[in-house]
Amino acid sequence: MGDRRRRLLLLSNGHGEDLSGSLIGQELQQLGLEVVALPLVGHGSAYRQAGLPVLGRTREFSTGGLGYTSFGGRLTELVQGQATYLLGQLLLFFREARHCSAVVVVGDVIPVLAAWSSRRPVITYLVAYSSHYEGRLRLPWPCGRCLRSRRFRRVFSRDAFTATDLSRQLGRPVDFLGNPFLDRVLESAVPLDASPAGAPIPRLGLLPGSRLPEALRNVELMLQVLTRLPENLQASGGLQLNAALVGAIDAAAVSRLSRPLGWSLEPGGRLRHGELELRLHWGEFPAVVQQADLLLAMTGTATEQAVGLGKPVLQLAGGGPQFSPNFAEAQRRLLGPSLFSAEGEPGSERSLRGTAELVGEVLHQLRHSDLAERCRRNGLERIGGAGGAARMAAQILQALDEPTAPLQ
């Protein structure tokens, strides 16, 4: 693109935000722009996998730096030195922003404030905020003031309801263009297995999350749910079970935690408990989600991706620090009628058995009601359709090409 080629800095503060940022970054590269990334939380693995340069020396924290982490999680962050690390990352950002034409923010108030303070043109995707939480979005101070600034060339929201609400509050256009993270789960996927002849067998997909050690504890809770399923679903041919696991959860770890619960690991990544068979899949997340009739999830972004595909999702709250009861409750407000959950304290018999019973109830609704269509419509309303990253990239390029001089 010759003289239109410019350097953009992607600033994000979360693993899900990194994923969306990486997809936007790839689209910007396709448009001929130079893109570098600075993740404020974690190693920025999504950026690295996308082939985008990551600035500085990154560090991972056990809590993930999430806004809905528990009080204990916040104490853990302090002990691990996350505040000091964040300060260092922000100082690096201010040094690098001087050499960039604009900053693209994917996150919440901290990167928004940092970008505003850099005095560079800013485009922001407010993936962390939604008016669905409380009916009217209450932006933390001074986020609203920053977003009203002429430095912010474009503001994108994560759903249509929030776009309407924020446009009214800020007195400026806020656009909903979809959510880039949905694009990743829409990637082509091979069938997980060949279905036997006869009536199709319903499929339950398990999404235990990616952060250790929490994800391992989540796998343990999910296995306990499966052994409490109704007898007809535990019988051979009653239900196909597939789990999407990250590489850090290897077969040996699954074997160790499952053995005391009565499961045995067989060749080919299959866990067996009586007639129950759970197939373990690494690197096949899109296939597990796309081909499931119902998901059992203890995760953030992956649940949003499943809802975006029109899938019903069962929540199973755990002990955190990420997927705690508070996080799960906020997620239900965010994602609406596609989510189902049982009552009871995390890990309690009431919670485990109630979740197992919900599996049968939701599968029944899928067969005998319009639940599938309702989930499809809800997914479009809450998440949007495919192509969000490309639409945002086009708007970012347009904003950079506008005649307005850089705002100092």
Q: What is the pLDDT of residue 15?
A: 85
Q: Does residue 407 belong to any structural domain of this protein?
A: no
Nearest CA-CA partner of 123 in 110, 107, 104: 104
State the Cα–Cα distance between residues 96 and 104, nearest whole angstrom.
Answer: 13
Q: Does residue 406 belong to any structural domain of this protein?
A: no
**Are 102 and 36 spatial neighbours (Cβ–Cβ below 8 Å)?**
no
What size, in residues, is the chain? Answer: 408
Q: What is the pLDDT of residue 64?
A: 52
Q: What is the pLDDT of residue 163?
A: 96
DSSP letter for each residue of 182-212: HHHHTS----SSPPPSSSPPPEEEEE--SST
Residue 8 one-letter amino acid: L
Could you list the residue range(s) of the whole structural domain that residue 50 is in?
2-180+387-401
Shared domain for 193 and 175, answered yes or no, is no
Shared domain for 30 and 100, answered yes or no, is yes
Q: What is the pLDDT of residue 198?
A: 58
Shared domain for 266 and 361, answered yes or no, is yes
Shared domain for 256 and 336, answered yes or no, is yes
Shared domain for 325 and 347, answered yes or no, is yes
pLDDT in single tens digits along all 408 residues of the chain: 333 458 999 999 988 899 999 999 999 999 999 999 999 988 888 999 999 999 988 767 655 554 444 444 444 544 456 788 889 889 999 999 999 999 999 999 999 999 999 999 999 999 989 999 999 999 999 999 999 999 999 999 999 999 999 999 999 999 999 999 999 888 877 788 755 555 689 999 999 998 889 999 999 999 999 999 999 999 988 999 999 999 889 999 999 999 999 999 999 899 999 999 999 999 999 999 999 999 999 999 999 999 999 999 999 989 888 888 999 999 999 999 999 999 999 999 999 999 999 999 999 999 999 999 999 999 999 999 899 999 999 999 999 887 654 444
Shared domain for 32 and 145, answered yes or no, is yes
Token pair, residue 240, equals 């196909």
**Are 377 and 384 spatial neighbours (Cβ–Cβ below 8 Å)?**
no
Shared domain for 253 and 239, answered yes or no, is yes
Shared domain for 176 and 289, answered yes or no, is no
Shared domain for 92 and 66, answered yes or no, is yes
DSSP letter for each residue of 298-366: --SHHHHHHHHTT--EEE---S-SSS-HHHHHHHHHHHGGGEEE--SSTT-HHHHHHHHHHHHHHHHHH
State the Cα–Cα distance between residues 184 and 24, nearest whole angstrom.
Answer: 11
Shared domain for 220 and 153, answered yes or no, is no
Q: Does residue 57 belong to any structural domain of this protein?
A: yes
Q: Does residue 322 belong to any structural domain of this protein?
A: yes
CATH of the domain at 393: 3.40.50.2000
Using DSSP, state whether 103 is helix, strand or coil: strand
**Are 263 and 223 spatial neighbours (Cβ–Cβ below 8 Å)?**
yes
Residue 196 phi, psi (nearest 5) = -65, 160
Token pair, residue 138, equals 């209450």
Q: What is the pLDDT of residue 365?
A: 97
Shared domain for 160 and 218, answered yes or no, is no
Q: Does residue 274 belong to any structural domain of this protein?
A: yes
Q: Does residue 408 belong to any structural domain of this protein?
A: no
Q: What is the pLDDT of residue 405?
A: 47
Q: What is the pLDDT of residue 16?
A: 86
Query: For 32-53, b where at least 16 C-beta lie within 10 A, e where not — what string?
Result: ebebbbbbbbbebbbbbebebe
Q: Does residue 113 belong to any structural domain of this protein?
A: yes
Say how many domains are in the chain.
2
Q: Does residue 193 belong to any structural domain of this protein?
A: yes
Token pair, residue 26, equals 């790839």
Shared domain for 7 and 146, answered yes or no, is yes
Number of H helices and number of E strands within the chain?
Answer: 17, 13
